[in-house]
Amino acid sequence: MRPLQFTAIKLSLCLILGILIGNFLRPPFIAAALPCLLLLFLLGMEHFLVKKHSVRFGLLCALLTTMIGVLSISITDAKNNPRHYTHFDIDQPQTYTLKIREVLKANNYSDGYITEAMYLDSLKVKGKILLNISKGSQQTNLKVDDEIVSYTTLYAISAPLNPHQFNYRDYLAGLGIAHQLRLSQEQFVLINNPTGTIYGLAAKMRDHIIAKLKQESFGAEELGIIQALLLGQRNEVTEATNTDYKNAGAFHILALSGLHIGILLGLLHFLLAPLEFLPKGRTIKLITIVLLLWGFAFLAGMSASILRAVTMFSFVAYALYLNRPTSHFNILALSLFFILLIFDPFLLFQVGFQLSYAAVFSIVWIYPQLQKFWSPKNWIFKKGWELLSVSIAAQLGVLPISLFYFHQFPGLFFVSSLLILPFLAFILGMGILVIVLALINNLPAFLVVFYDAIIRWMNTTIAWVGQQESFIFRNISFDAVELILGYGIIIALITTLQKASFKRTTIVLSSIIFFQLWGLGIAYKTQREERLILGHTGRNTTLLHQTGLKVGVYTNNWPSSERMATDYFVAQNTAELVHQPLKNSYKIGIERLVLLDSSLTSIPKNIPIATILLTQSPKINLDRLLDSVQPQLILADGSNYHSYVERWEATCLKRKLPFHYTGEKGAYIFKIR
């Protein structure tokens, strides 16, 4: 079966192309709407005046769908919405009225929220804003639908300060967030009797369920996993447990999304099978399943990932109702089409969305091919092979995306799947039963002990798999071109397995050769590069020196520099990473860089110096130093006090000497060759 033979998939690909074009061009609304109207008129003329649909009709459909994708971006774009807060004066302090939309995971210093702007002074506005509230003695924990008022100033989301660092600004931009607020407990007022929404009602229900579960004798770690599995609330899962699940290739178990909704759909499909014996029982069963899926989404807080998953599997439930194998690709493509149009076209750029659809499409397409490859007669081997086939199909589908974003691959993912997935339906089903019994205050103690033991067993199993370091392949360099070529190899390989031919085999081998040639080209380019980078690390100094495939890290505090150095090492496709203590002087080509810290506060006058790096807040008189040494550039990194940096910057500004502070301008890169 070839997925591209389905019209829904072709139209979905056209929509995705339009969204990509719209995101790149960001056209005004009129520029996107007029071509849509013109193409719609031409398509109507073609349909009503030409009796037989021609190639021209198909081309017009493709062009119209593509332009609809462009239009969807234009409609969502803040610059085309005159009521968006960014169209008003936000550089000055204003009175903001905000509604809490989502509660984020707190850290040791502040609580985080995603809010919706309601009013700017007395003007009604729209737009999302990230809110951080510092923790204090008078702690106010805000909830979804709470409304606050604050007189304050917005801050733009900062760009990453180091090369190849995770771009939090772009991530938030994909969520429609471009600004943030930082408030203390005393800088806002909570509004009484705020307007309620379905999201707030869902959050209250979820909080009520969590409060009921906390009254039982579940372990703290086990309770955190239960909340993640059944309610989509990962705020109480520890970082160590998160790491174990990632390393074991089982993090999708914690992220309440497509896997859980798919299992729930399977359970409901099985449990409600007796309804089919009633008159119009299949229709009643479909309606019941869809209502229960959306009821579960409500209990899970109506998060974006849950809404996407339930929408997708509502279409899948309809495909099961039709009971036609060819409908699965069509239904999945239609769900993708409507999710991108109805919810948000920017979902296309979110990792979770990409992983969900890549996994589901690959399971639907690849799993049947693996079953044809081997069909054991023994029941145990048959079920084991089915589970392994699902896991292999899903991992193949998400492998290029995972390598592109996360640069690691868990080699024992199939072990996690074989050990956990056979019991996951039972774990989810029992978890729902536990929640229902807890809500009616009728949860038996033995069931609490039993379910707590099951979750502890699952955690222990995942931890054991995740701690097999030899099977975790980390720091894999994988760029956008390799992402595309990787999917090309997978698609060509699967189509060849479906029906082998000389042409298809040639395409597979050619794809592999192109992939290897690209890797060799990147390695050749890297070998010819040399650069020195002053990074930004808080309370520390970090210099990266790349010479070909080797990256040397100069720092006196390796743990605080490790993340920055590793990100650079992986992105640059280098082969060796070494670290050693800082020196006070470095030669850059024919010029010299001198580090000035508390141990070296003066420089001999007879040494020509191009650049001075001020670190660890040295107590110097910069004016006097510059009188004796004439550098071309002054650098300051994140190890200095802000008051010192401001004083040095003022001195350099007065002397018209270039000054670069990594905390504001980011890392400084010396390109040597």
pLDDT at 37: 94
Q: Which pLDDT score, from 0 to 100, does residue 606 have? A: 67
pLDDT, mean of each 10-residue run, the chain (673 residues):
72 93 92 93 82 78 93 92 91 93 86 94 93 81 92 92 91 89 91 88 88 90 89 84 86 78 85 87 90 86 76 82 70 84 85 85 86 83 83 88 90 81 86 90 91 93 87 89 94 88 92 94 91 92 93 93 93 91 84 83 72 92 86 94 94 94 94 71
Q: How far apart are CA 202 and CA 533, in angstroms?
A: 48
Buried b (16+ CB within 10 A) or exposed e, 414-449: ebbbebbbeebbebbebbeebbebbeeeebeeeebe
- Give the whole-angstrom CA distance, residue 89 versus residue 85: 8
d(CA 494, CA 492): 6
pLDDT at 386: 82
Cβ(520)–Cβ(477) below 8 Å? no
pTM of the model: 0.87
Q: Which of these, 123, 106, 107, 126, lies nearest to 115 by C-alpha position? A: 126
Distance of CA 326 to CAs 296, 319, 577, Å? 28, 9, 51
Query: For 26-167, where are the alpha helices, taking DSSP H only?
Result: 29-49, 55-76
Q: What are phi and psi of 316, to 5 degrees?
A: -65, -40
- Give strand pairing partners of 592: 587
Alpha-carbon distance of 544 to 497, in angstroms, equals 46
Residues present in the chain in total = 673
pLDDT digits (tens, 9 = 90+) for 26-63: 999 999 999 999 999 988 888 777 766 678 888 999 99
pLDDT digits (tens, 9 = 90+) for 326-370: 567 787 888 888 888 877 898 888 888 888 888 888 888 888 888
- pLDDT score recorded for residue 326: 53
Per-residue pLDDT, 486: 94
The pLDDT assigned to 673 comes to 62
Q: Phi and psi dihedrals of 671, rounded to 5?
A: -90, 115
Is the CATH number 2.160.20 carried by domain 85-196?
A: no
